[in-house]
Structure 1
């Protein structure tokens, strides 16, 4: 009996998606380009997701995908600096990390190895994980009760606009307050702040 392996390619550029689709189809995989990644993963729990990481929104999508149970196999493809983004991806739940600019053989090997239960990543990403640094600066102090509430809301999917409306700030003021919080934690993005909060036990993972 032939086992059909489904792969989803999530990237903003059609040309890149089509190229990866042709390359992976050539080694016998069934490749799709879904418009809704969450629905695709729920429909194909045994599939593999290739997700380009270009923005905070991409990292948030990765986090959302990796909350699904059973956890899907996600290969993160950082489009820029690989080391720190790769660490964020692994911490968010990605199984493997491969640079978006990787060669065709490298991407094929990563997909095959991931399907076989291995975790593939650049040595620089592994080094940061082993060192415990993760590309993140030293955190300075724990957040206040109110700030933890903000992180909990953001973790559950609230937008900054909704959060600002709840506590009576303008959207711009809310962004400034959150940037101050991120600096306090020694991070740069909302996703990194949420990951720190979970690691420190300030908020609980919803799964």
Structure 2
């Protein structure tokens, strides 16, 4: 069976280069505009998803969570430790730095398809430690305040009222916060924030 690979990156040059490398290795490579729809139609598929923005994190969450994509490899820019751990917690099987070499790219895709999880050592260390690599919060002051209130037992309705949002809008904002933290709900978010000494 031929494994189909989707390459998703905002830079056409990077996307075309990765596609050429993987096509040369014998994979059927595509660059879908809507990777979520592509995964719904595909069987035996792999997605190389570059994650740079919150929208990209949302796509990763949808691919791994709701859709149950078979294999997602998160491609990350910058320091991979914290963001790599977040990607794995959301369901990415492997993590690659965006500055990866051609050989490492091919080896990672091959190993991931073979059932292995491949990631930089810093990502594995962050996962083993159960936290991000530094104690500085990547969250806004408002988000930290919401976490403190939630940890203190405040209801979402009361939190929404204090923050000046509707209850529905507050639930949406909290879902974004949970995804940003790499957790699935309130209890996990509070526990993670306590582990990281944010509260």
For the aligned pair, the TM-score class normalised by the smaller chain equals 0.7 to 0.9
Q: 1:21 aligns with which of 3, 19, 22?
A: 19
Q: 1:191 aligns with which of 179, 184, 189?
A: 179
Partner of 1:145: 155
Q: 2:103 aligns with which of 105, 124, 127?
A: 105
**Mapped partners of 1:124, 1:189: distance in 2:** 24
SS in 1 for 2:105: helix
CA-to-partner distance for each residue in 1:32-69, whole Å, 9 max, x for gaps? 00011111111113100000011111111100111245
Relative to 1, partners in 2 of residues 1:148 and 1:128: Cα closer, same or farther, differing over 3 Å? farther
Relative to 1, partners in 2 of residues 1:16 and 1:98: Cα closer, same or farther, differing over 3 Å? same
The number of residues matched between the two structures is 173
CA-to-partner distance for each residue in 1:104-158, whole Å, 9 max, x for gaps? 00010000000000000000000011111134748874612217997xxxxxxxx
**Mapped partners of 2:57, 2:168: distance in 1:** 28
Gaps of 5+ in 1: 151-162, 183-187, 203-207
**Mapped partners of 1:126, 1:147: distance in 2:** 38
Q: 2:87 aligns with which of 89, 103, 115?
A: 89
CA-to-partner distance for each residue in 1:13-41, whole Å, 9 max, x for gaps? 11111101110000100000001111111
**Mapped partners of 1:118, 1:89: distance in 2:** 16
**Mapped partners of 1:70, 1:196: distance in 2:** 15
Q: 1:131 aligns with which of 129, 136, 144?
A: 129
* TM-score (norm. length: structure 1): 0.72
Partner of 1:10: 8
**Mapped partners of 1:131, 1:71: distance in 2:** 27
Relative to 1, partners in 2 of residues 1:98 and 1:194: Cα closer, same or farther, differing over 3 Å? closer
Aligned CA RMSD, in angstroms, stands at 3.2
**Mapped partners of 1:69, 1:197: distance in 2:** 18
